[in-house]
Every structure is written in C-alpha cells, then in structure tokens.
Amino acid sequence: MQQTTRTIVWFDEVTKTDIPLVGGKGANLGEMVHAQIPVPPGFIVTAGAYFKFLNDAGLTDEVRRYLKGLNVNDSRRLQEISEIIKDKISSASMPPAMVKEMKDAYRKLGQGLVAVRSSATAEDLPEASFAGQQSTFLNIQGEDEVVAAIQGCWSSLFESRAIFYREEHGFDHLKVGIAVPVQKMIQSEVSGVLFTVEPLSSDTTKILIEAIFGLGEAIVSGDITPDQYLLDKNGLRIIDKKVHKQEWQLSKNTNIPSGELEANVKVPVPASKQSRQKLADKDIVALAKIGKTIEDLYQFPQDIEWAKQGTQLFILQTRPVTTLKATDTAKTFHKIEAQAILTGVAASPGIAVGPVKIVPVASQIDRVKNGDVLVAEMTTPDFVPAMKRASAIVTDRGGRTAHAAIVSRELGIPCVVGTEVATKTLKDGQEITVDGSIGEVYAGRVAEPTKSAPAVITQERIKTKTRVYVNLAEPELAETIASRHVDGVGLLRAEFMIAQIGGHPRYMLHEGKGDQFMEMLARGITTFTKAFHPRPVV
C-alpha cells in the first residue's frame, strides 16, 4: 500500500510490506487478518499522520533543539527533557481534519471499549527494535478519549528509555515514527493460552491449550488453575483433558466513577458452572486449527493468547515459543515406579528430592533453606529469593504460564503447579520426590535428582541478520547467559530485582528512601549491563 499521506488505514489494508507506515505490530495484525485469523477488528493511525502532526504543530525543529547535545547518561537531565517534549506533544493541537478522521474511524468501529497501542517504526532502520518502549492504553471509550490516547502514544515516543535507546544506537530521533493501532477490546467469557508445541517436551506433534472463565490475567498470575487440553496436531484429535474447578473469575468493573481507570474485579462463578469444562470440544478443535494456521504463517511454534466472547474465538497476541529444546527431552524423563501422592500440572522438568517447607505468605520465605521443596498456594515476585534456594516448587494453583512455572524454568528446577491440595496434604519436614516432567509428587526418596535437559544447539553458529535476545530476571545468571551466543537482553524483568529490595517503591519514596531504592535497583541493573556490554539491555 505505502501511501504515507493517509491518516487512517484498516487492518485488512496492510501487510508486512507496510512496516514503515504502520510499524511491526500494525503489519502483524494485517498479516493475520489476510490469513483469515480472527483478530479483534481495528484501524491504524499511520506514522505519516504522526510526522504531519509534528510538522503542522511546529514541533520538529523544537524537539531537535531540546535533544541536541543531550547527555543520556545524565538520568536526571534525560528525564527532564523527556517530560518537556512529552508535554509539548500532548498539549499541541492536531489538525482538525486529522481529528475528524480519527473520530470517524472510531465511530465506524462501534464506539465501544478499545485498546490503543504504539507501533514504532523507522523506514531506513529495518533492524531497529523498539518493543516495550512506548505506551499502551486499555479500555478507552469515547471519541475525545481515543484521540487523547493516540496523542499519548505519540508523546511516549520520547519516554526517557526510548530516547536513551535511540541515542545509544545512533538513530535520528526525528526519523523514527510511530503508528497507533486502535483495536476493539474483547470482554472475555473464556480465555487462555495455546502452544502449538508441547512446551515441556518440545513435542512438535502436539498442541496444548489452557483455558479459564473470565479474563486471562488470572492464568499469568497463577491465581487460577486452568483446564488443560492436549491434542494431536496432525489429526486435531483431543488425546487428554484435565478439567479444574474454578470458584471465581476476573471481569471488568463497570461500576466505577467517570474519569477513573478501568479495573478488574473478582466475580463468583455460579456453583453449577464451577466444575464445568471451560471450552466445548468443538471449540477446542476450532482453536487448535487456528493455532496451526498461525504456526504455518510464521513457520515457527507459537505461544498464542486467545479469548472467547459469545460464540466467537479471537486471537489477541502471538509470539514464538522460546523454550524449545534442540534434543528430544522426552527421552530424558525417568519413569518412577511408585504411587504418586499428588498430581498437578507439569510446569518445569526434572526430578528433585528434599524436605517440604510450606510457605503460606511471602513474609515467611526465610524459612526456606537450600535444598528444601518450596510448597505454597501460589508464588509472586516476593517469593523469588526463596525460589532460588529451593530444589523444587509445588503449588496449589496455577498453570504453565503462572509465575511459579516461569521462574522455575528460568532457574532450571522442577516445578509442579495446580495440585489443589499440596499445602493441606504435605507436612513440614516431610521428604518428598518431585517430578516436574510429568507433574507428580511422591512420598520419600523414590528417585535420584536430575536436572532438566538444557537446550543444546549442535550446529555451528551461523551469522545472520536476525538478532537473538534473551529474557532475564536473575542477576546471578547474567555472566553465564552473556557468555553464550546472544545479542543482548530483549526484556529485563526488573520486578524480580525490585522484590528483593524489600520494600514497595511507593512505600520507600513515602519514607524518604527514594535514593536508596534507586541505588539498589541500579546496582542490580549494572550487573546485567556490565556482563552484556556493549550489547543492549532493554
């Protein structure tokens, strides 16, 4: 298409060739629409509209003057300049014709709740990655509110982290544009994740689906143990189902005062529905079919977020599965000839033996010593210090995308989640064996500990233009990971470092300990940047 003078384009008008106009996120939405994948409808405010806005408002030269000679390593000055530029962009008037086009498009979309997201792009910098640097606004409703959110996305192009990134990479700030996808929000009745590969064993012949009632955030937090459906990929045949009771769900709070942020609320699931299978078999098969289509489109196994509203299934997001093993890890599993005392969801492979330490709340994590098996209802970032000392983790709730599962896989320790009764069945000090490969727990020592099989790449390293970035949370792993063939850190999960500081950021600021908080956080970040220098850490 490539008509840079247009203000608005619809998802079905763009393809991957339009990245300079609509950014990678916008182009990806267009590709999925053309592949007849059911994504929520929407439109994109083009990068051309952003550049026109800057020029018409007389901001191009002004922004350049503010940024000239800026030392981005002076964090206070960087933040000060960032706030000035963002305020200039947010308060400038848009051309009336442009505002009218945005409002017309929003009315055409139905005037309901929308997500307003950023999609940065640079026409002559195809290798640049701007992921996670700009703003997203969810549950926006109203013509003026949508226009304001779009302008907010534009101003977020000058967040301090975005300015720093461009300076570090030598990019011209005013050659980097930003497109803004505006997409209808789905009020999920059922939601979840789909893997087009069995993520623990890397079995590419299987599809795994997790599902819960309500909004999908409860899967990621580990608050709810999801249903699991395993399918044969070739025949789309359901070969295993695990249905879990669900007593409450997350829903949008519609009873909030005007002008306040939307919030999610816990709503009881009716007793007659609590033990019901979340997705009907026909929907499971239909969703798996969509998953296969997406995998074929991107030619790589995918981790897909989905939602169901009414009778319609929607794809919210897709990303490549990054934890595949180069070898068949299923062959490394050791069959244990004993009766399991607990069964749950296999969340991180390997076998561990150790004494039980039940931790009801995060304030008691000091009870966990090296080699203990941490047992909890669920984990949060506050549990991370104890998780590092544990030989294995067992939880009552959660699925394979819960906090306990994600951190266990990163730490390389066995994990079983969603047992429902671990904290009630197990006793402090009791020796148990945990098999994270199949999701079972045994009384006593019934097997020797094993580590999960590492992902070993056997081929000689091939140099390509594709850069490989890692997600990291633990400073202790920085040196080890930095020594491997990676191009930098694509996502530094700072919440784990913040949890170890020992106080909520707002509390520390309130107590006048802001400098202490920043110093401790900077110390953790420096561990990563020093290990990876001169590679980027985002």
- Residues recognised as catalytic: 403
**Strand, helix or coil for residue 473:** coil
Residue with tokens 């307003």: 116
Q: Are 228 and 210 in contact (CB under 8 A)?
A: yes
Which of 186, 61, 219 lies closest to 115 in space, CA to CA? 186
Backbone angles phi, psi at 370, to 5 degrees: -55, 130
User: Within 13 Å of residue 284, how many CA atoms lie on the same side as its CB?
Assistant: 27
Backbone angles phi, psi at 83, to 5 degrees: -65, -40
Which tokens hold the place of 514? 């802001």
Return the DSSP state at 170: T
Contacts with 171 (C-beta within 8 Å, 6 or more apart), sequence order: 122, 125, 128, 165
Which tokens hold the place of 101? 């086009």
CA angle 274, 276, 278 (to 5 degrees): 105
**C-alpha distances in angstroms, 493 versus 80, 163, 288, 412?**
25, 20, 30, 17
Dist CA 236 CA 377 (whole Å): 34
Buried b (16+ CB within 10 A) or exposed e, 201-220: bbbeebbbbbbbbbbbebbb
Contacts with 435 (C-beta within 8 Å, 6 or more apart), sequence order: 334, 336, 346, 351, 414, 416, 441, 442, 447
Q: Are 372 and 393 in contact (CB under 8 A)?
A: no
- A 10 A CB-CB count for 193 gives 23
Return the DSSP state at 537: B
Return the DSSP state at 235: T
| Sign of the torsion formed by the C-alpha atoms of 422, 423, 424 and 428 | positive
Which of 519, 525, 461 lies closest to 489 in space, CA to CA? 525
Beta-sheet strands, E only, within 214-278: 227-232, 237-242, 248-252, 264-268
Q: Are 72 and 168 in contact (CB under 8 A)?
A: yes
